[in-house]
Structure 1
Amino acid sequence: MMYASTLVCLLLCGVCLGSQWLLDDTQRAVVSDLIPRSLWAEQLSLSLLSSYSLAPDVLQDPSNCVQLLHEFANNSADLSNCLANKAWPVRLCQHCYKEYLQLKVTMNKIGNPLQNSTVSCTTILLQSDRVQVIVALNDFFDDLWSNSKCANCLQKNSTEILSSTITFMNLFDGLIQCFNKTMQESPILVKPDNFSRVCQSCNESYRNLSDWYTKLDHEKTLCIDLEDAMNSTRRLWSKTFNCTLPCTDTVPVIAVSAFIIFLPVVFYLSSFLHSEQKKRKLVLPKRLKSTASVANIQDKSN
Structure 2
Amino acid sequence: MDVTRCLLQCLVLAGVCMGTEWLLEDTPMAADADLMARALWAEQLSLSLLPAYSLAPDPTPDPSQCTPLLHEFANISATLSNCLVSMARPVRLCQHCYKEYAQLKATMSKIGNPIQNSTVSCSTILLRSDRVQVIVTLNDFFDDLWSDSKCQNCLQNNSSGISNNTSKFMDAFDSLIQCFNNTMREPPISTEQGNFSRVCQNCNDSYRHLNNLYNEFEHTNALCIDLEDIMNSTRKLWSKTFNCTLPCTDTVPVIAVSAFILFLPVVFYLSSFLHSEQKKRKLILPKRFKSSASVANIQDKSN
TM-score (norm 2): 0.72
How do 1:208-227 and structure 2 match up within 5 A?
208-227=209-228
Aligned to 2:187: 187
Q: 1:299 to 1:199 in 2, by over 3 A?
A: same
Greater shift in the superposed pair: 225-234 or 280-289? 280-289
Partners of 1:217 and 1:149 in 2: CA distance: 12
Deviation at 1:166, TM superposition (A): 2.0
Measured in 2, the distance between the counterparts of 1:177 and 1:230 equals: 16
SS at match of 2:141: helix
Where does residue 74 of structure 1 map in the other structure? Answer: 75
One-letter code aligned to 2:133: Q
Counterpart residue identity of residue 100, structure 2 = E
Q: Which AA in structure 2 matches 1:204?
A: D
Matches within 5 A, 1:96-245: 96-184=97-185, 186-189=186-189, 194=195, 196-245=197-246
Q: Distance in 1 between matches of 2:274 and 2:135?
A: 81
TM-score, normalised by the number of residues in structure 1: 0.72
> Conserved in 2, the CA contact under 8 Å of 1:178 and 1:202?
yes
Q: CA deviation at 1:63?
A: 4.2
Contact 2:180-2:199 within 8 A present in 1 as well: yes
Question: Could you tell me which residue of structure 1 aligns to residue 265 of structure 2?
Answer: 264
The AA in structure 2 aligned to 1:148 is S
User: Aligned partners of 2:59, 2:195: CA distance in 1, in Å?
Assistant: 74
Contact 2:176/2:206, CA 8 A, preserved across alignment: yes
Q: Give yes or no for contact 2:70–2:126 (8 Å, CA) kept in 1.
A: yes
Q: Which of the two has higher C-alpha Rg? A: 2
> CA 1:132–1:285 in structure 2 vs 1: closer, same or farther (change >3 Å)?
closer
CA shift, 1:129, in A, is: 4.7
**Cα distance change on mapping 1:54 and 1:76 into 2, 3 Å:** farther
- Structure 1 residues 299, 129: CA separation in 2 closer, same or farther (over 3 Å shift)? closer
1:102, distance to aligned residue in structure 2 (A): 0.9
The answer as to whether partners of 1:54 and 1:123 remain within 8 angstroms in 2 is no
Q: Partner of 1:246: helix, strand, or coil?
A: coil
Measured after TM superposition, the shift of residue 196 of structure 1 is 2.5
Q: Which position in structure 2 is the counterpart of 1:64? A: 65
Structure 1 unmatched ranges of 5 or more: 1-52
**How far apart, CA to CA, are the structure 2 residues paired with 1:288 and 1:121?**
107
Give me the CA root mean square deviation: 2.6
1:158, distance to aligned residue in structure 2 (A): 1.9
Q: Is the 8 A contact 1:198 1:241 kept in 2?
A: yes
Letter in 2 for 1:88: R
Identity of aligned residues (%): 75
The alignment partner of 1:127 has SS state of coil
Aligned partner letter, 2:187: P
Question: Measured at CA, do residues 130 and 272 of structure 1 come closer, stay the same or move farther in structure 2, by a change above 3 Å?
Answer: closer
CA distance 1:125–1:190, change in 2 (3 Å)? farther
